[in-house]
Structure 1
Amino acid sequence: MTTHITDLPPEVLELIGAFLSNRVILNATLACRHFHRHLSSFLWKHVAASVARRNVDVDNLRVHSKWVRSLRYVDYEGQLPLDYYDISFPTLSVLELGSRSLKVSGPGPSAEEYTANWTRLIRLNPTVRDLSLTFPTDFAQVHTELFETIMASLYRPRRLQVDCTGSCEVPYSVQQSLWRVVSCFEEVEFASYDQARQGASLDVDLSRIKRLTYLPFNNDGVVDYDLKVLTACRGLTRLRWGNDFGQISVATFVGYLKHSTWPQLDDLALESVRQSDKEFAHVMGLVPPLKHLRLEGKNFGPLCFNQLQKRHFTTLRALHMELCHSLTSRMALDILLNCQHLEEFSARFISQDDLLATPQPWVCLGLRCLKCAFIGNTDELDSDELDSDDNNNNWQTFEHLSKLRYLEKIDLRWQDTPGSHSYHIVSGVLQWRLGYGLERLATLRRLRTIRFDTKAQNLGWEDVQFMLVHLTSLEKVFGGLSRHWKFEVELSMLLRVRGVFHES
């Protein structure tokens, strides 16, 4: 019979170790030889080394290389010793290589020398599936051998992240080699200067790409090339395009949708949607039924919302609309009332008057993340008491929130439009106080993170005590707790003493 944890079989100890933090595992391995034998491998699963903080000895890294699953090398004004690039990691699956600053002249290595080290490391580790490359500013000097090695060595590539902060002219041969590498991966995040946007043609098959985040830095008003890239990725299931969608010809984009260019697309994120409500409604009506949608724009009106409701409400899992400033309170409430499978939702605000006028229960009972301000009509910012109308508003809102038993994160901050300041709005936000509905939230056993608006809350000692007792998974609280700064310090200390992180 097992009488002590050290009597457990190694398989059970390793299973337990998978749920422990590195700090706990380190303390256990230092205290017990048995734990050291069976748990040490967890300390080497994720390794990070850099010039600025060379906390991993190269000889130890070589000895324990068989346990490394994720490796991150970052240079600051130089490079790691060459020995770090001469290690083979038999089970390495995630590799991040980057440079924050690179000097071409002087004691620092050139870009060719730098990427030669990367090339050697990648050649030694063909098991890498997820690759992240943060290139130095002199990206034009990167040797194409690096890209050729990636294509030839990695036999099961999955995810690629390319990031280059430089704005220099990139040789066509380098650009071609880079895009051939891109074509080998299923998921790509491209944040770099793209020479091809200047008119250079690319002869690359991008049909393998399923998830694409395209963030070209040189915004030259040229969107024809962007559309060529997007239409070449016919197998896309996720598209996140960081360029100005307002420059796109709606007729052209709608034409691609009518021809089912992306039949499997279910995740879409677009920035700077400046088309009219009527124009963008055509796009919303032709995009395949979406599970994830993120939009930024000013003209999301009733026509777009009708298309969203007809075509996407039954499939949506995540909907982020906090940057759609024309999304009304009524629209946001209709989403909660009708999107049964919704797990993540963000909007600017919901009026508590609309909540009172529509008491029907929300159907999104599986909601995990909610980002929305609930706005009432309190007039006095400095009042310690709420009147009866605000009490009813608070109670109705808490009644809805109490049904979201899977809720893990809630963000109650008011999302201002860029350049505006609506500090007065804090006088009407939802108050987390006992007697006004807070006691209803005892059902939220999974809630881990709460974000209040700055200076919006005026909680008492008993309110915070209630949250600590009943919100058993609570880990982090952001935002002000009291309008009296001395009492704010006391409440913050109470949270921290109980192991809950707080930041005003």
Structure 2
Amino acid sequence: MATILRTLPSRKLIGLDRAGEGQFGPMTFSCLREMYFGHLQELKIEQCVGVSSAMVQEIMMECAHLIILEAPYVFIRDIVTAPKPWSCLKLKEMTVYIAKQEDDEVGWDGLVFEQISKLRRLRSLDLQRNPRYSSKRIRPETVMDLETLDLRLPGFCNSGSSSDGGGCDIRCWSNLVQLGSFCFDGDRQVLGMKEALWMVEHWRDLTTIWGEFEAVEGNDVDKLDTLFKKKGVNL
């Protein structure tokens, strides 16, 4: 892949779609960095083998013109310890699993919530650990087993979550007013009516939610369905 990129007649490559799976190693990444980071608008490497968290973090720091990003995962640690914030403020579609490691510090979740809150043009946000269920290739098992951001509102978060660290939580995302599609792993969250109400209240353009609200039980199940139907949100 790196050889092909280096032989392209134009140095202004604006899109790279590797959605059909394949290799994406250090040589390909170095070539993109050297020749195309300043122009890239669309990058789909979510199903590629060889993509690391550090690569994804650098892409989001350096690709200021990026509009669509599909990547496998990025560690919370890499986001908060990076030398500078993301520059990809034009992002409209983002697919990436944000993975939490056991030795992450208290409050780091909040810094990631705040970082994402700056992507105010987002229309689609997919935080699932394996969004391509039909694909034969999934995340590395070591990543699949890791936890992710706790999306619960304050009062329901475990000790050590973003709210305990004095940082931000999902309420930071109230300024993502263009968000139309939101996907999350229901089995990694315990969201209820409180979170559902918050989402439809603040994300007025929301048309699709993918993920189970595990804390909704009994009569509230019908109330949840009614809420989403009334707001025109598909589950």
1:474 aligns with 2:192: no
Who is 2:159 aligned against? none
Residue by residue over 1:324-347, the C-alpha shift from the partner in whole angstroms, topping out at 9 and shown as x without a partner, is 121101101111100111100000
In structure 2, what is the equivalent of residue 285 of structure 1?
A: 6
Change (3 A) 1:420 1:313: closer
What SS class does the counterpart of residue 345 from structure 1 fall into?
Answer: strand
Q: Residue 449 of structure 1: CA displacement?
A: 0.5
**Hey, what's the Cα distance between the residues in 2 that align with 1:448 and 1:357?**
30
Residue aligning to 2:69 = 345
What's the secondary structure of 1:372's corresponding residue? Answer: strand
| Structure 2 residue 115 is the aligned partner of structure 1 residue 405 | no
Where does 1:456-495 land on structure 2 (aligned, <5 Å)? Answer: 456-482=188-214, 486=218, 489=221, 492-493=224-225, 495=227
- Name the aligned partner's letter for residue 471 of structure 1: W
Deviations 1:184-224 (CA, angstroms, capped at 9, x unpaired): xxxxxxxxxxxxxxxxxxxxxxxxxxxxxxxxxxxxxxxxx
Over alpha carbons, which structure has the higher Rg? 1
How much has 1:491 moved relative to structure 2?
6.8
Is 2:200–2:231's contact at 8 Å kept on the other side of the alignment? no
Q: Which structure is higher in helix share?
A: 1
Structure 2 unaligned residues grouped into runs of 5+: 155-161, 163-168
Q: Which moved more, 1:314-323 or 1:490-499?
A: 490-499
Letter aligned with residue 196 of structure 2: V
Matched, 1:294 2:17: yes
- Aligned partner of 1:455 in structure 2 is 187
Q: Rate the CA distance shift 1:330–1:468 in 2: closer, same or farther, 3 A.
A: same
- State how far apart, in whole Å, the 2-side matches of 1:342 and 1:424 are: 25
Residue 490 (structure 1) shift: 5.4
Distance 1:471 1:394 in 2: 21
CA displacement, residues 76-130 of structure 1 (integer Å, 9 cap, x when unaligned): xxxxxxxxxxxxxxxxxxxxxxxxxxxxxxxxxxxxxxxxxxxxxxxxxxxxxxx
Q: Which residue of 2 aligns with 1:336?
A: 60
Cα separation, partners in 2 of 1:465 and 1:292, compared to 1, 3 Å:
same
Write the letter of the residue equivalent to 2:176. L
**How many angstroms apart in 1 are the aligned matches of 2:193 and 2:137?**
36
Q: CA deviation at 1:431?
A: 2.2
How far 1:489 moved relative to its partner? Answer: 2.7
Residue in structure 2 matched with residue 418 of structure 1 by the alignment: 136
When the two chains are superposed, the root-mean-square deviation of aligned CA atoms in Å is 2.8
Is this contact kept in 1: 2:206–2:233, CA < 8 A? no
Matched, 1:431 2:150: yes
Deviation at 1:492, TM superposition (A): 3.5
Question: Helix, strand or coil: the match of 2:225?
Answer: helix
Deviations along 1:312-368, one digit per CA (max 9) or x if unpaired, are 111111111111121101101111100111100000111111112216221111110
Matches within 5 A, 1:122-201: none
What SS does the corresponding residue of 2:3 show, helix, strand or coil? Answer: helix
Are the counterparts in 1 of residues 100 and 147 from structure 2 also a CA contact under 8 Å? Answer: yes
Change in CA separation of 1:423 and 1:285 when aligned onto 2, cut-off 3 Å = closer
Find the aligned partners of 1:502 and 1:487 in 2 and give their Cα distance.
20
Paired residues for 1:38-437 under 5 Å: 280-287=1-8, 288=10, 289-295=12-18, 296-358=20-82, 360-377=84-101, 389=104, 392-415=107-130, 418=136, 422=141, 425=144, 428-435=147-154, 436=162, 437=169
Q: TM-score, normalised by structure 2?
A: 0.80
Deviation at 1:284, TM superposition (A): 1.8
Counterpart residue type for residue 478 of structure 1: W
3-state SS of the aligned residue for 1:373? strand
Question: What letter is aligned with 2:13?
Answer: L
Is the CA contact 1:376–1:390 (under 8 Å) kept in the aligned structure 2?
A: no
CA distance in 1: counterparts of 2:40 and 2:5, whole angstroms:
13
Separation of aligned partners in 2, 1:393 and 1:311:
33
Report Cα offsets for 1:254-308 as digits up to 9, x if no partner: xxxxxxxxxxxxxxxxxxxxxxxxxx32212222321111114443211110100
Partner letter of residue 432 of structure 1?
A: L
User: How far apart, in 1, do the equivalents of 2:144 and 2:218 lie?
Assistant: 23
Tell me if the contact between 1:300 and 1:324 (Cα under 8 Å) persists in the aligned partners.
yes
